[in-house]
Structure 1
Amino acid sequence: MKNNENNYVEPTYLYKHKFRFTKLIFISLVTGILFWIGFQFIYGTTATASHGQKNAVNHNAASNIAFIVNTNELQGNDTSQASITLVNRTTSKVIRTVTVNNGNGHHELGHLLNVSNDGKKLWLQARNDSTVGQTNVYNLNAFLKPHVTAVSALPTANAVERTFNVGNGVQNTKTPNGKYIFLSADQSSKGINVFDTKTDGFLGNIPNNNTAPHAGAISPNGKYYYTTTAEKHHIVGYDISKLPNTSAAKLKRVLDIDVGYGSLHAVAIDPNGRYLFVGNASWSIPDGATHRSGINVIDLKTKKIIATVPGRPHNFTISPDGHYLASTELKANVSSTDCDAGSGDLGDRLQIIDISTLTKKHPNTAAIKDIYHFDTPGLGGSHAKWDQRTGRLYYTTYDNDTSQGWLYVLNTSKLAKAKPNISQVLPKQKIGWSPHGIAFEEDSAS
């Protein structure tokens, strides 16, 4: 027992219980701290930026995860599964891959995906065969729950909030404010389907010369949408500032440039909205045609192509500082008209283009050039995405024979050196089948 100032004698049993109670509080506090550290390791909410980006903190669970869609389209059998891979943006480590299945045989997902700006929904297309396709709006929490390994794509599933039976395609482009999403449709009617993400409403279809383009880009001010007519080789733009009062079918076309030939497979816009990059993946150049195979740079002020860098682009992404454009290249195949059959371009690579001159008032177009190749022999370069927060470059590839997917997370901080270089943050990581697009919550690009 214990004496206090007033000669009060504290009972022994009370003293013992106070000690046990204090010990219990201490254990609970330590347990809570350890739990929080573990949560941060898996779903951490802070990251250090490179390329001049400030540290970013967002306590939304989705904000620290990169989402990769594994389309399953090239495997062609029922033993593989379409899926979504979740990656921790702080550690660059794969958390897990979640199967997406409709319970009806072979199931394929669209090449690209988008997360709503509030981090609550996932917009993703899917198809069962060439004539049936739909757009699904998922509750993103269905993928984020710990230990989840599979999510149903059926319209009746709890994970699916809305289903639109309006066809599916490759493109999935979101406006910077997240209000509108543009999704191509490869079935009848072809074109680009437009959705209001705030109301989950379908706003109609942009006919786009009856084509289903692979990629699109939105101007930073959200007023213009740029895409292509795919194999009809036109670069086009639309004024979307009148949405939703003007129907999608009646949007005014403000840009139309004929490249002359080829399959226009990649589109990106610089952070200032002045220059558009359009990739022509075809190397069957018609007699007398101007060489436009590779990365075409368009000045949107003059509406002219000011440079073409040779390559075989499949997908584009631009660094956070706007100085570099990364272009992915799939396997070269002499029997294909959609790739370079020449010895100078082997494919299976990530091509880095220096576009830093375009940040200047008077750019030197001769300075727009190929400066580095990150080669992955045997693994086709599918899609890439620069993380605007951390500066790391995510690069998805897949085995040319089996379609097994692999993820590279790359450090690109030395691209500005006299001898540019790229290094791996981690060894390549196994993901799903036929991986394609990568999405972050805050991104608006494809």
Structure 2
Amino acid sequence: MMHLDMDAFFVNVELLNKPELHGTPIIVAHEGPRSVVCSASYEARDSGVHSGMPLAHAKRLSPQATILPLRGDYGFYSRAVMRILRDESPLVEQVSVDEAFIDLTGATAIGGSPVAIAQRVRERIADELSLPCSAGISINKFLAKMASTGSKPNGLWVVPPHRVQEFLDPMPVNKLWGVGARSATLLNEYGIYTVAQLREFDAQWLCGRFGNAAGNHLYALARGIDHRPVVTERVEKSMGAEHTFATDTRCVADIERAVQGIALRLGRRLRAAGKTAGALTIKYRYEGFETHTKSIPLTEPVDSGMQIYRIACAALRAMGLLIKSCDGQKEQASRALRLIGVRAERLQQCASGMQQTLFALDPQEGDGAEKADWGRVERALDGIHTRFSAEAVRPASLMGYTAERTHMHRVQHRQV
């Protein structure tokens, strides 16, 4: 098994156009008061900068760092890397834009030893794409991943079967792939700091303190056990988007505009994938990164952005996030919001010929209420968006609205 991980992928793609910055601290991020670090060079990481950190904090840690915006063709380079991997083996499991597992079991008959294949892959990526990467080789996914992490940057580490415990035992438990910060803290409270110490405890003791699933998982990790196969096909489990406001806001108009922009983009994504959502999750964040979520089961599956928008806004009011002001004349958020997000869940394939739901433009349902089949309207607009751009046609309420701080994301699970 091989795990390949591109080194500081976003940074190194940007450096292709700015080679003079090699060897200097670099941070890739959108500029803005609420921006977070997308990627950092190893020189910036030496100062404590890491992905997901607020950009303002990263600038304080590494004041000399150059801030580069996200604008490289990351998808192009990601696809090129995966093609190189598939030239060696058809059993490639891409787990993110910049990393993948490769089952080399059958590939060695033609391609040579696992080490020869890994070296050839790394050389091709360097020669054809001018990008560095690291690789780990071992008997399973967990060990290969740990080996590639240990080989960074731009290295190759092989962990043979007879040296698994020698490799794992000195490691701090918080460095184990699959052990989160909370589990590591609890292990430390029991006096367990290294894998060697973790291995002294049997599965029964671990299950009694961490639960059956987590306890058995920790028991297996300490012994380098991982039976998961490479899975070449994945299906989306959910998809969603979030919007971070430039400043914390209680303005209902700003919040609803953000939700509408998110919902319309989410609807387009659902229809493009031929999916419908059976549930929605609303995510909202206050100052200080206090974050909450609320799941909303749906009586009928949806793929209409406008319908998602209306459901989400109704949920915000039902949850008490949008309330009447003290004078009762207008609405406002109960607390200033920093971020709002909507995620579509329980995805299922859209039924052929599924009748589109009719619903009112006016939130007050009833006789005489103006109704529109938004599903058909949005499908008609999909063609325009595909031919031109997602901004070619948009509701008047979104004129002037920017999606720069709105980020799409997806969650995947393995095809069973």
Q: Could you state the TM-score of these two structures normalised by the residue count of structure 2?
A: 0.28
Q: Could you say which structure has the higher helix fraction?
A: 2
Q: Which has the higher strand share?
A: 1
User: TM-score, with normalisation over the residues of structure 1?
Assistant: 0.26
